[in-house]
Structure 1
Amino acid sequence: MDIPLPSRDALKAQAKRLRAGLNAAGTPCSHAQALETIAHQWGARDWNTLSARAKDTPQPGYHPGQRISGRYLGQPFVGQIKAASRVGSARYRLTLRFDTKIDVVRSALFSSWRQQVNCVVDGTGRSLRKTSDGVPHVVLDDAWSGG
């Protein structure tokens, strides 16, 4: 299964993290070397080729087995996508499986633990359904930029 190519900015951020990690480990790496390495990791001949293929905006795409993190009903989670399908041109129906169960109730009187949920998110990773205070039920972190 092909992984969608991240945005040009996300690719540059990957190169920046690679360079910082290598330099911190005592292996000198220039910015140009880091860009070329990222290009090779994505199967491109060089950075210019990869940069031409990448878009300026993120290309969201979700697939089963993809690691994901974010918030569900205000609770942070880490997990993976168990099932994914496109709904229309800019929405995705996802089944998320959390690594550990999370309590989705804010009451001190009882709990409701969940390890798997279904949701529909838009291209920004936010669910269409919201809590009574206007916060999306699901907010996925950007898988490409690390934030």
Structure 2
Amino acid sequence: MEHALPSRDTLKAQAKRLRADLAARGTPITHAQALETLAHQWGMRDWNTLSARLGNDAPTGFAPGMAVTGRYLGHRFTAEVTAARKMAQGHWQLTLRFDRAIDVVTSKHFSNFRRQVNCTVDACGNSPHKFAGGQPQMVIDPS
């Protein structure tokens, strides 16, 4: 099973933590050595090879604390991402906390307001799940 590579920023942060942990244990290493070690852990010959595999694209995705806007079940919303996990094939599992509750029922006889939802979206912010009319249940606007 192939795992998606993390962003360059994530890898550099991991290297920084690795350096700090090893230094605390009495084995200091340079930042370059930490980057090389991470490259080996990802099955690459060296940091340059891993860095080339990452490409030059700016990191994309979702992170806790990020403010997002979009439509959920056709209702406009503003929300905060409270949890984000990257999944296979570029999908994200998110927990969103809406600034204002959204009625998730279309019945005229009762309502059910939700302030928080869990959803899965692709890299463009569209859920694979559709509701009436074939529209995605969740659409997160591009930032």
Look up the SS of the partner of 1:133 in the other structure. Answer: helix
Q: Aligned runs of 1:1-147 on 2, under 5 Å?
A: 55=57, 59-143=59-143
What amino acid is the match of 2:91? R
- Per-residue CA deviation, residues 19-69 of structure 1 (Å, 9 max, x unaligned), is xxxxxxxxxxxxxxxxxxxxxxxxxxxxxxxxxx964xx753100000001
Instruction: Name the one with the larger helix percent.
Output: 2
Q: Shift of residue 132 of structure 1? A: 3.1
* Partner amino acid, structure 1, of 2:70: G
Q: Is the 8 A contact 1:60 1:124 kept in 2?
A: no
User: What letter is aligned with 1:122?
Assistant: D
Cα displacement string for residues 63-85 of structure 1 (whole angstroms, at most 9, x for unaligned residues) = 00000010100111101001000
User: What is the identity, as a one-letter code, of the residue corresponding to 2:73?
Assistant: L
Unaligned stretches of 5+ residues in structure 2? 1-6, 10-54
Alpha carbon RMSD of aligned pairs, Å? 2.0
Could you tell me the TM-score, scaled by structure 2's length? 0.58
Partner deviation per Cα, 1:111-132 (whole Å, 9 max, x = no partner):
0100000011001100011113
- The structure number with the bigger radius of gyration is 2
Larger relative CO (CA 8 A, sep 6+): 1 or 2? 1
Which amino acid letter does the alignment assign opposite residue 88 of structure 2? Answer: G
Using the aligned pairs only, state the percent identity: 42
Q: List gaps (5 residues or longer) in structure 1.
A: 5-52
Structure 1 runs of 4+ aligned residues shifted over 6 Å read none
| Contact kept in structure 2, 1:129 and 1:136, CA below 8 Å | yes
Which amino acid in the other structure matches residue 104 of structure 2? Answer: V
1:80/1:96 contact within 8 Å kept: yes
